[in-house]
Amino acid sequence: QQQVKQSPQSLIVQKGGISIINCAYENTAFDYFPWYQQFPGKGPALLIAIRPDVSEKKEGRFTISFNKSAKQFSLHIMDSQPGDSATYFCAATDGETSGSRLTFGEGTQLTVNP
């Protein structure tokens, strides 16, 4: 059973539009929520991350919104560019314990059309 559920599975947006990817988790022990960007044949690259003591974090065009009570978090990509076309994974883990596994969502394949 997937402990982190991600939607949508695929997303197509126009250049300059906003891309929104949503995730929900079940395990209340999770306290660190990173997003990874992955290009075909490459390793996942850490994009942005949030801890549950804040409701929003912004880095450039990327924003994470976090709703602790609903156990949901989302990634917003503003002014989406063709170079953003990749697969995005949300993840969750125990951020305080070294060696704790990342539990990934199923991934969202984002295509940004020029």
Partner 1 sequence: AAGVIQSPRHLIKEKRETATLKCYPIPRHDTVYWYQQGPGQDPQFLISFYEKMQSDKGSIPDRFSAQQFSDYHSELNMSSLELGDSALYFCASSGIKNIQYFGAGTRLSVL
- Interacting residue ranges for partner 1, rule: CB under 8 A: 32, 34, 36, 41-46, 49, 89, 93-107
Q: H helices then E strands: how many in the chain?
A: 0, 11
CB of 21 to partner 1, least distance (A): 13
Nearer of residues 40 and 114 to partner 1, judged by Cβ: 40
CB of 3 to partner 1, least distance (A): 11
Q: Which of 72, 91, 75 shows the shortest CA–CA distance to 24? A: 72
Classify burial at 102, counting beta carbons within 10 Å of its beta carbon; exposed 0-12, middle 13-18, buried 19 or more.
middle
Nearer of residues 17 and 31 to partner 1, judged by Cβ: 31
Nearer of residues 13 and 106 to partner 1, judged by Cβ: 106
- For 6, 67, 75, the CA distances from 24, given in Å and listed in that order, are 7, 10, 12
Number of residues that this document lists for the chain: 114
CB of 47 to partner 1, least distance (A): 12
CB of 16 to partner 1, least distance (A): 28
Nearer of residues 17 and 95 to partner 1, judged by Cβ: 95
The SS3 of residue 104 is strand
